Chains A and B, each alone.
Chain A
Amino acid sequence: MTVRLEELLRAAFPDATELAVEDRTGGGDHFQVTVSSPRLSGLSLVDQHRLVYDALAEPLADGTIHELRIKTRGGG
Chain B
Amino acid sequence: MALKERIQATIDSEDVVLFMKGTPEQVLCGNSARALDALRAVGAPVTAVDVLPDPAIRQELQALSNWPTIPQVFVRGELVGGADIVQELAETGELREKLDSALGEGWQHRGGEERTVELTDGSGPATLRLVP
Contacts and interface: CB of A to CB of B under 8 A. Distances in A.
Main secondary structure of the interface of A (DSSP, over half): helix
B69 A45 contact: no
B85 interface: yes
B68 A60 contact: yes
A45 B91 CA distance: 14
A69 B84 contact: yes
Contacts of B79: 46
Interface residues of A, number: 12
A73 to B, nearest CB: 11
B66 A50 contact: yes
A49 B81 contact: yes
Given A53-B69, A67-B30, A68-B69, A46 B81 contact: yes
B85 A46 contact: yes
Interface string A9-34: 00000000000000000000000000
A58 B88 CA distance: 26
